[in-house]
A and B are shown apart, each in its own frame.
Chain A
Amino acid sequence: MTDVTLPRDFAYARSEPHGLAAWLMGTDHKHVGLQYMATSLVFFCIGAAIAITMRTQTIVPGMKLLSPEDYNRAFSIHGTTMIFLFAMPVLIGFANYIVPLQIGARDMAFPRLNALSYWLFLFGGLLLYSGFLYGGVLDTGWFSYAPLTERAFSPHDGVSVWIVALTMLGISSVAGAINFIMTMIRLRAPGMSWLRMPLFCQATFVNSFLILFAFPSLTAALALLYLDRFYHTGWYNPARGGDPIIWEHLFWFFGHPEVYILILPAFGMMSEIVPTFSRKPLFGRTAMIISILVIGFLSFLVWAHHMFTAGLPTYFNTFMAATSMLIAIPTGVKIFNWLATMWGGALRFKTPMLFACGMIAFFTIGGISGVLQASVPFDWQVNQTMFIVAHLHNVLFGGTAFIAFAAVYYWFPKMTGRMLSDRLGKWHFWVISVGFLMTFMPMYGLGLLGMPRHQYTYAGDLGWSTLELISGIGAYIIGAGIVIFIVNIVRSLLAGEPAGDDPWDGWTLEWATGSPPPHGNFATLPFVQSDLPLWDAKHPGQPLAHIASDTQPVNETPAEVAALHAEPANADHWTKLPLLTAIAVLVVGIGLLTSLLVSALGIALLLILAGLWMSARWTVPEPPVMPRQRFTALGSGILLLIGSETVLFGALIGADLHLRVHSGLTLGIHGRLPTTLPIVNTVILMTSGIAAHYALTSYRKGRLAWFRAYITATVILGIAFLSGQIWEYAHAGFGLSSGLTGESFFTLPGLHGAHVIVGILLLVYLMVRAAHDGPRRPTETAGTAGAIARGTGTAGMVEAAVYYWHFVDAVWVVIFVVVYLL
Chain B
Amino acid sequence: MTDDQQTSRHTGRTIVLRALFLVAFAGGLAGCSTQSPSMFQTRSAGAHDIAVLTYTMFAILSLVLITVWSLLAYIIIRFRERPESEASHTRGNMTIEVLWTAIPAIIVAVLFALTMQTTGKLVGGPDSVSLTVTGHQWWWQVKYAGADFETANEIHLPAGTAITADLLSADVIHQFSCPQVTGKVQMIPGTVNHVSFLPITAGTYLGVCAQFCGVQHAHMHFLLIVQPPAQFATWFKNQMKPAVSPTGAPAIAGATAVAGLPCSSCHTIRGTSLQGTHGPDLTHLASRTSIAAVTLSNTSANLRRWIADPNAVKPGVLMPTVPVTPQTLDEIVAYLEELK
Contact = CB atoms under 8 A, between A and B. Distances in A.
A50 B315 CA distance: 21
B116 to A, nearest CB: 7
A134 interface: no
A317 B185 CA distance: 13
A333 B76 CA distance: 19
A534 B20 CA distance: 50
Contacts of B37: 449-450, 462
A585 to B, nearest CB: 31
Contacts of A365: 65
Given A340-B96, A346-B79, A145 B172 contact: yes
Most buried by A among B53, B190, B213, B216: B190
Contacts of B114: 375
Interface in B26-48: 28-33, 35-40, 47
B80 A349 contact: yes
Given A145-B211, A376-B115, A457-B218, A344 B96 contact: no
Interface in A345-404: 345-349, 357, 360-361, 364-365, 368, 371-372, 374-378, 380-385
A281 B316 contact: no
Given A286-B92, A547-B91, A325 B188 contact: no
Given A448-B40, A544-B89, A68 B315 contact: yes
A452 B72 contact: no
B118 interface: yes
B218 A385 contact: no
Interface string B39-70: 11000000101100110011001001100110
A738 to B, nearest CB: 19
B151 interface: no
B210 A285 contact: no
Contacts of B209: 452
B259 interface: no
Given A283-B92, A336-B100, A381-B183, A329 B108 contact: yes
Nearest to A441: B28
B65 A339 contact: no
A279 interface: yes
A238 B101 CA distance: 46
A343 B75 contact: yes
Contacts of B101: 287, 329, 333
Interface stretch (B126-134, B173-181, B301-309): B173-181
A347 B80 contact: yes
A69 interface: yes
Contacts of A448: 25, 28-29, 38-40
Contacts of A243: 190-191
B230 interface: no
Contacts of A465: 31
A310 interface: yes
Given A145-B172, A385-B210, A368 B65 contact: yes
Contacts of B90: 280, 283, 344
A309 B116 contact: no
Contacts of A581: none
Interface string A310-349: 1100100110011001101100110111011011111111
Contacts of A368: 61, 64-65
B95 to A, nearest CB: 12
Contacts of B35: 461-463
B80 A285 contact: no
Contact of A375 (B53, B193, B208): B53
B56 to A, nearest CB: 10
B111 interface: yes
Contacts of A466: 30-31
Contacts of B242: none
Contacts of B171: 147, 153
Q: Which of A349, A385, A463 has the most CB of B within 10 A?
A: A463
A357 B115 contact: no
B214 interface: yes
B173 A347 contact: no
Given A153-B214, A244-B173, A450 B68 contact: no
Interface in A274-324: 278-287, 309-311, 314, 317-318, 321-322
Interface size bracket, A side: 35 or more
A772 to B, nearest CB: 56
Interface string A243-258: 1110000000000000
B104 interface: yes
Nearest to B172: A148
Contacts of A545: 89, 91
B119 A281 contact: no
B19 interface: no
A377 B195 CA distance: 13
A595 interface: no
A360 B119 contact: no
Interface residues on B, range: 35 or more
Contacts of A310: 186, 188, 193
Interface string B215-231: 11110000000000000
A318 B175 contact: no
B114 to A, nearest CB: 8
A416 interface: no
A243 B38 CA distance: 32
A686 B35 CA distance: 69
B69 A361 contact: yes
Interface in A447-502: 448-450, 452-458, 461-467
Given A463-B32, A544-B89, A346 B218 contact: no
Nearest to B69: A361
B29 to A, nearest CB: 6
A449 B31 contact: yes
Contacts of B71: 339
A328 B47 CA distance: 26
Nearest to B123: A314
A385 B184 CA distance: 11
A503 interface: no
A339 B75 contact: yes
Contact of B79 (A336, A343, A377): A343
A445 interface: yes
B15 interface: no
A688 B216 CA distance: 56
A551 interface: no
Contacts of A69: 215, 315-316
13 contacts: A72-B212, A238-B189, A309-B175, A321-B112, A325-B115, A346-B80, A349-B76, A360-B68, A371-B111, A372-B54, A448-B38, A449-B31, A463-B32
Interface of A: 67-69, 72, 139-141, 145-148, 153, 238-239, 242-245, 278-287, 309-311, 314, 317-318, 321-322, 325-326, 328-329, 332-333, 335-337, 339-340, 342-349, 357, 360-361, 364-365, 368, 371-372, 374-378, 380-385, 441-442, 444-445, 448-450, 452-458, 461-467, 544-545, 547
Interface of B: 25, 28-33, 35-40, 47, 49-50, 53-54, 57-58, 61, 64-65, 68-69, 71-72, 75-76, 79-82, 85-93, 96-97, 100-101, 104-105, 108, 111-112, 114-116, 118-119, 122-123, 137, 171-173, 175, 177, 179-180, 183-186, 188-191, 193-194, 206, 208-218, 315-316
**Closest 6 pairs between A and B when the two form their complex, measured CB to CB:** A238-B190, A380-B183, A445-B28, A450-B37, A466-B31, A346-B85
